[in-house]
Chains A and B, each alone.
Chain A
Amino acid sequence: GAVVSQHPSRVICKSGTSVKIECRSLDFQATTMFWYRQFPKQSLMLMATSNEGSKATYEQGVEKDKFLINHASLTLSTLTVTSAHPEDSSFYICSARESVSSYNEQFFGPGTRLTVL
C-alpha cells in the first residue's frame, strides 16, 4: 500500500528557533500533500494544501510566513515552523494524495511531535 513517512518523529527546540519537518511519499508520486495540526485530544485541523511546483494554499487563520511549506518534488514536502514559540507545540501530520488513484483518498504520515521550550 501507499506509505508516507515523516521526519523527525519527535523534536524539541528552544523558543525562537526554526524547525523543519519532512513528509515523503515512499512508493508513489504525490501531486498534492496536506499538512494538519492536531492539539491534544482534538481532531485534525487542515493547515495547508501544497501542490508540487506551486505555492501552498493556506487555510484561514494559518500564518503563511510562520508555517513555510515547500513541495519541491513529487515525493517530498517540507513544513518549516519559523521562530517557534511554545504555543506552536503540537502534533503535525502530513498526508499525500496519489496522482493517479481515488481522487479523494489521502495517505497519512505517522506524525511529528513538536515541543517548543
Chain B
Amino acid sequence: AQSVTQLDSHVSVSEGTPVLLRCNYSSSYSPSLFWYVQHPNKGLQLLLKYTSAATLVKGINGFEAEFKKSETSFHLTKPSAHMSDAAEYFCVVSARQAGTALIFGKGTTLSVSS
C-alpha cells in the first residue's frame, strides 16, 4: 500500500525567508515522488520529481527536495520565498509496481507575506 502525509496544512512565511513544506510517504515498493503546485483555479504544475536517481532533486523556480529513505521523507525547500510562491502544494507518491495511480497528499497552503 502507498500513502503520503503532508504534515502541515498551512505554512506562512515572509518574503525572502526560507520555505519548508514537509512530506512523509509510505510505500511497499521503490517509490517515485513528485511535488506539484496549484495556483487558485488552475491546474497542477510539476515542480520536481524523484525517480530513483539523485536523492537531491532540483526543480523549477528555485525549489528542491531531498529523498531520505531512512526517514521516508521528501520535504520541499526553497531558500528565499517570493510572493508568487503563494499557492497550494501537493506531495505525490507513485510506484511502478503498484500500477499507475498517483496518490496525493492533502496539500499544504503556502502563504507569503511582504
The reply to whether chain A is a binding partner of chain B is yes
Given A104-B32, A105-B49, A111-B42; A43-B100 close (CB under 8 Å): no
Given A43-B105, A43-B106; A108-B44 close (CB under 8 Å): yes
Residues on A lying within 8 angstroms of B by beta carbon are 4, 6, 32, 34, 41-44, 46, 49, 91, 93, 95, 97, 102-111, 113
Closest chain-A Cβ to B48's Cβ sits at a distance in Å of 12
Chain A: CB-nearest residue to B91 = A43
Q: List 9 A-B contacts (CB under 8 A).
A: A41-B109, A44-B90, A44-B104, A104-B94, A104-B96, A106-B102, A108-B43, A108-B45, A110-B43
Residues of chain B lying within 8 A (CB to CB) of residue A42: 106-107
What total of A-B pairs shows CB separation below 8 Å? 56
Determine whether the beta carbon of B104 is less than 8 Å from that of A102.
Answer: no
B 90-114 binary contact with A (CB < 8 Å = 1; else 0):
1000111000111011110100000
Residues on B lying within 8 angstroms of A by beta carbon are 32, 34, 36, 41-46, 49, 51, 90, 94-96, 100-102, 104-107, 109
CA A107 – CA B107 in complex, angstroms? Answer: 18
Determine whether the beta carbon of A43 is less than 8 Å from that of B36.
Answer: no
Closest chain-B Cβ to A102's Cβ sits at a distance in Å of 6
Residues of chain B lying within 8 A (CB to CB) of residue A34: 100, 102
Closest chain-A Cβ to B6's Cβ sits at a distance in Å of 9
